[in-house]
Amino acid sequence: MLSIGKLSAATGVKVPTIRYYESIGLLPEPERSTGNQRLYGRKQQERLAFIRHARDLGFPLDSIRELLSLSDRPDMPCAAADVIARRQLQSVRDRIVRLEALQQELSRMLSQCAHGTISDCKVIEVLGDHAHCQHDHHGDGVPS
């Protein structure tokens, strides 16, 4: 059995994140020692490693919840897991398209720079007025 600190070290998931995953039901409540310390076994470690890997691949928590539910029923066909993975792949492709548009816009903005004064700066001008952009990059996942 592992303490939460040792589980964290073994999986690379921070302690507060482990507690969060427990609070939202992705990880089951752990056993407790007589001193009320959380104790985790091999199954919890494997489940946390699954969650970590899925997060590394960009899966949202709701999709991970679905995948965990499927993994708890090993005799089911994997078609449902394929649908979730395809949905994530499309999300990644959509993000790449938006990022490429952002890259083009930033490159264009910098290429128009005359290296003069701020009053003539294209970077400041474009950032100050979205109408100067060539691409619509709203909804690109970048917080406003």
Q: Give the domain ranges of the chain.
A: 4-57, 79-132
Q: Which of 17-26, 31-40, 111-120 has the highest mean pLDDT?
A: 17-26
The CATH architecture assigned to 4-57 reads Orthogonal Bundle (1.10)
Interior angle at CA 134, CA 133 and CA 140, nearest 5: 75
Distances (CA, A) of 37 to 6, 28, 111, 123, 143: 12, 15, 58, 54, 38
CA dist 16 and 125 (Å) reads 42
Going by pLDDT thresholds of 50, 70 and 90, the confidence category of residue 12 is: very high
pLDDT exceeds cutoff 70 at 83: yes
pLDDT exceeds cutoff 70 at 143: no
